[in-house]
Structure 1
Amino acid sequence: MDLKLPRTIRLDASDTFVYSRAAGPGEWAVTGTFLFFGADTATLSGKERQAFRAGFLGIDSFGWSTLVVVTDATAHDRAAAVDRLAEQLVVRCGAPDIETARVAAEEEIAFAQSLCDHPPNTLIGVNRTSEQAGIRESFRTLHRKASRLEPATAFRFVEIEGEDASTEKFDLLAFAGRQK
């Protein structure tokens, strides 16, 4: 069985500016949408709003990452991720006991695993919106347009695929200036 899970990735320092707590690179990740259930998402602002709209949750730090990368994993990696998330659900989210938390963690890891039906090293982004019926998530993949004739460069253009490839623009420099 081809087992793949999402890991947080940090391509630059922007996550440390846009989230109140940024996930470290290389953490196993879940969508983290459960942290917004019951919240009035219309009142979220700043870094909380950014986490709602575009963050994946790193299960070690409970910090946010804008992107995750599809990564090969072992059954042991998956079991450890379920155990760690279950611990976090008890400590950080008030789950009544580890058994209840493990059931919830298993569901979250299974959903995260379902997002990884792509080749390893594929980047995945999320866009969340609040609608009358609840929270809606759409996912997009980013991958390099490969060509053997393409010279090595520091920057490359990527194709964006997904339900809604258009996303709201965010001016990081303007945002960083307001934070001072």
Structure 2
Amino acid sequence: MALKLPRTIRLDPSDTFVYSRAAEPGEWAVTGAFLFHGADLDKLSGKERQAFRAGFLGIDSFGWSTLVVVTDATAQDRAAAVDRLAEQLVVRCGAPDIETARAAAEEEIAFAQSLCDHSPNTLIGVHRTSEHAGMREAFRTLHRKASRLEPATAFRFVEIEEEDAPTEKVDLLALAGRRK
């Protein structure tokens, strides 16, 4: 079975407005729910509440992304993601040492990997809620055709080669009145 991991994706600029720090497109991502452990979830407001409700955490920037995309990865990509997240857990979250952080990062990456049991280019969103027993996460997938991930174009130029077809030449400068 191919190894797949989630990467952040930005389909429009909205993440830069709704989160205090938006993830850069293309970062490996985890759910980031651990950042809300112990928080009074009912008192979250504004951009922090939005990150709780719908954000995936980019592991390089520690910024948020509303969507992630299932992406093929190598074992080296996965190992690098675990190492980077472990570093971030020490620096940003106060993990006591790199070994403890690496164990936690391994769990987070494994869970993120488990979300990617879909074909590449599948988009994944999360919806988190606060419940009496704690936090609940629900994930949804948006299956898009690969061509729909490409920028939309109004025109497509197609070159057609035909043997013995008459050649038509147009002088645009003459038509514009700039050449006589």
Is TM (by shorter chain) over 0.5? yes
Q: Give the TM-score normalised by the residue count of structure 2.
A: 0.81
Residue 131 of structure 1: aligned partner: 131
Q: Which amino acid aligns with 2:60?
A: D
Count of equivalent residues: 152
Q: CA deviation at 1:153?
A: 8.9
Where do 4+ consecutive residues of structure 1 move more than 6 Å? Answer: none
Q: Is contact 2:23–2:62 with CA below 8 Å preserved after alignment? A: yes
Matched, 1:53 2:53: yes
CA gap 1:119/1:57 in 2 versus in 1, 3 angstroms: same
Counterparts of 1:41 and 1:118, CA distance in 2: 31
Could you tell me which runs of 5 or more consecutive residues in structure 2 were left unpaired when the two chains were aligned: 154-180
Alignment of 1:2-17 (within 5 A): 2-17=2-17
Amino acid at match of 2:24: G
Give TM-score, length-normalised by structure 1: 0.81
Q: Deviations over 1:110-143 (max 9, x none)?
A: 0000000000000000000000111000000001
User: What CA deviation, in whole Å up to 9, does each residue of 1:8-47 have, x standing for no partner?
Assistant: 0000100000000000000000000000000001111000
One-letter identity of the residue aligned with 1:115: L
3-state SS, counterpart of residue 77 of structure 2: helix
Question: Which entry has the higher C-alpha Rg, 1 or 2?
Answer: 2
Distance of aligned partners of 1:153 and 1:111 in 2 relative to their CA distance in 1, 3 Å threshold: closer
* Residue aligning to 2:40: 40
Output one character per residue of 1:83-119: Cα deviation in whole Å (capped at 9) or x when no partner.
Answer: 0000000000000000000000000000000000000
- Whole-Å Cα distance in 2 between the matches of residues 77 and 44 of structure 1? 34
Trace 1:48-127 onto structure 2 (pairs within 5 A).
Answer: 48-127=48-127
Matching of residue 19 in structure 1 with residue 2 in structure 2? no
